[in-house]
Amino acid sequence: MCGRYASARGKQELLEEFQVELDGAADDELKPDYNVAPTKPVYAVMSRVPKSEPDGGPVRQLRVVRWGLVPAWAKDPSIGSKMINARVETVAEKPAYRKAFAERRCLIPADGYYEWAVLDEKDAKGKPKKQPYFVRPADGGVMAMAGLYEFWRDRGRDDDDPLSWLVTCTIITTDAVDEAGKVHDRMPMLIERDRWGEWLDPGTPDAKGFLIPAGSTGLEIHPVSTAVNSVRNNSPELVEPIKKEEK
């Protein structure tokens, strides 16, 4: 699964990197985050028809959404904390995801993600210790994680209330390969740059063609400090390599 990641690139860099046409986060710029956790606000790249031009076509835009998808039919938005990931094997069929998969696909920009390997050692409570690792593109480029987004309406508020709508997202996961597979059997599904447009286009006739096992990913992995275990810690040092005996 993907339960933590890093996203430290500035908004302007993301606008340029993803060739965004509309800055939908103009009034909501996020700070660099080296410990992104579920329910936090995150950047998402999506393709939608702007409200200001309803007769036009979809436009690529950058939006701020909340990590943890809340289906439109949910009675309580707290369900989102349990829906941070969607499995590639079932995302096109599960009721919570299938409509979003067909119409609301997005890209979640990241510098890399964290995963924990179970060690043979035990802690003071007798539980297996875990070593966190950071997985990132070997070339230092941006990681474009496949995601879905959804709109949830708070029916207890008026339509014109800016808080009446909640926009959330989930990250699609697949079988881990290469170095990442040595730590955990799952990893985020990544979309190659030359397929960004096709993935984002709500008019793509059959997006199921993307749901295939990951090939070589070009990722590298290194152990990091256990400081990342606490969401209260958030600094560039979290992604820096350490020797395995360090904490």
- The residues annotated with a catalytic role in the active site are 2, 115
CA distance 4 to 85: 11
**Total residues belonging to the chain:** 247
Q: CB burial class (10 A; 0-12, 13-18, 19+) of residue 34?
A: buried
189's tokens: 């599904």
Angle at 13 between CA 162 and CA 168, to 5 degrees: 35
Strands 105-110 vs 22-23: parallel, antiparallel or unpaired: unpaired
DSSP, res 190 = B
H helices of the chain, in order, are 11-17, 98-103, 196-200
83's tokens: 């829906």
How does 16-31 read in b/e, with b if 16+ C-beta sit within 10 Å? eebebebbbbeeeebe
CA distance 56 to 50: 8
Angle at 70 between CA 173 and CA 151, to 5 degrees: 110
